[in-house]
Amino acid sequence: MTLIDEAKNGHAEPVTRVWNARFAKIERRIAEIAETGEQRVAILRDAIGDFCAAELAQRDREIVTLKKHMPTLRTSFSKRRQSTSKFTRSPCALRRRLPDAMKRSVGRQD
């Protein structure tokens, strides 16, 4: 290995040539890593794109199915609302009437 401060002897290459060769090797390796990194990014991007497309397609199919069921649900809901009798009370209405019922049952002698 030739160091920067070493003088050239009969067997060593000039310092600049050694450093240039090492830098060239490092640059080639960095270029290889960058290329494989870019390939990985492209593969991941494509995989994520495929996954998103599949998920969106499934969501769209489910939306279409729900839209098909909407008229049926509306019909059954409106029939239920119409079929509720006038004797059906909401919990709030029953709670308001509870004190009156309690007074009547207390005053009652069985």
For the stretch 3-17, pLDDT in tens is 444 555 555 555 566
Residue from 1, 21, 20, 19 nearest 11 by CA = 1
User: pLDDT 10s per residue in the chain (110 long)?
Assistant: 444 445 555 555 555 666 788 888 888 888 888 888 888 889 999 999 999 999 999 999 999 999 998 988 888 888 877 776 555 556 666 666 666 666 666 555 54
Q: First and final CA of the chain: distance in angstroms?
A: 115
The pTM of the full predicted model, rounded to 2 decimals, is 0.43
| Radius of gyration of the CA atoms of the chain, in A | 42
Euclidean distance between CA atoms 56 and 50, whole angstroms: 10
